[in-house]
Each structure stands twice: as structure tokens, then as C-alpha cells.
Amino acid sequence: MSLAKPLMRGLLAKRLRFHLPIAFGLAFAAAVAFKYTVTEPRKRAYADFYKQYDAVKEFNAMREAGVFQSVRPSGE
């Protein structure tokens, strides 16, 4: 049997050289994907909501529905 001598050293370094760039790349890609699929739409949704938001109108609607304890609907 004249097998070649197997690799004895540098096994961890070899593995890290291969896997670390992949790990960092995937983590970065996950972060970027999350940013552009979740956080950016969410920021836009909030911005759009508050652009047309009339707080007083909403308050009165909620009051008439009877959800508050401090102010009852105007009828009572």
C-alpha cells in the first residue's frame, strides 16, 4: 500500500478559509434582505398612514363607539 500521506495539519484553518466568507456573506445577505423586505415597507407604511391622519376625527369616532371611560358618547 503506497497511499499518499494524509493531511495532518492546518485542517481547521482550511475549513475556516472556506466557510467563514460564506458565513459572513450569508449573514450580510440575510440582513440586507430583511431591511428591504420588512423595515423599508414598514417605514413607508407608517409615513403614509400619518400623512393623512386626523387625530381629532379619530378620537371622536372612537368616543362615539364607546370605548373610552373618561368621555362617554355625546348622546348620553
Partner 1 sequence: MTAIFCKLLQICNLVVIFFTGLCDLVMLATRAFSLIGKRAISTSVCVRGGHGVAKVEDYTLPAYFDRRETPLPDIAYVQTLTPEQKALKEKEKGSWAALSNAEKVALYHLSFKQSFAEMNQGTGEWKSVVGGIMFFVGLTGLVVLWQRKYVYGPVPHTLDPEYKQQELQRMLDMRMNPVEGFSAKWDYENKQWKK
CA-based nearest residue to 63, from 53, 52, 74: 74
Q: Which of 14, 15, 42, 72 binds partner 1 (CB under 8 A)?
A: 42
CB-CB contact of 47 with 37 (8 Å): no
Q: How far apart are CA 74 and CA 53, in angstroms?
A: 22
- Is residue 19 part of the contact set for partner 1 (CB under 8 A)? no
Kindly state the smallest distance separating residue 41's Cβ from partner 1, in Å: 9
Stretch that binds partner 1, among 8-16, 22-30, 60-68 (CB under 8 A): 60-68
- Is residue 54 part of the contact set for partner 1 (CB under 8 A)? no
Q: How many residues does the chain have?
A: 76
Which are the contacts of 68, defined by CB distance < 8 A and separation ≥ 6? 62
Tell me the number of residues near partner 1 by CB under 8 A. Answer: 11
- Is residue 45 part of the contact set for partner 1 (CB under 8 A)? yes
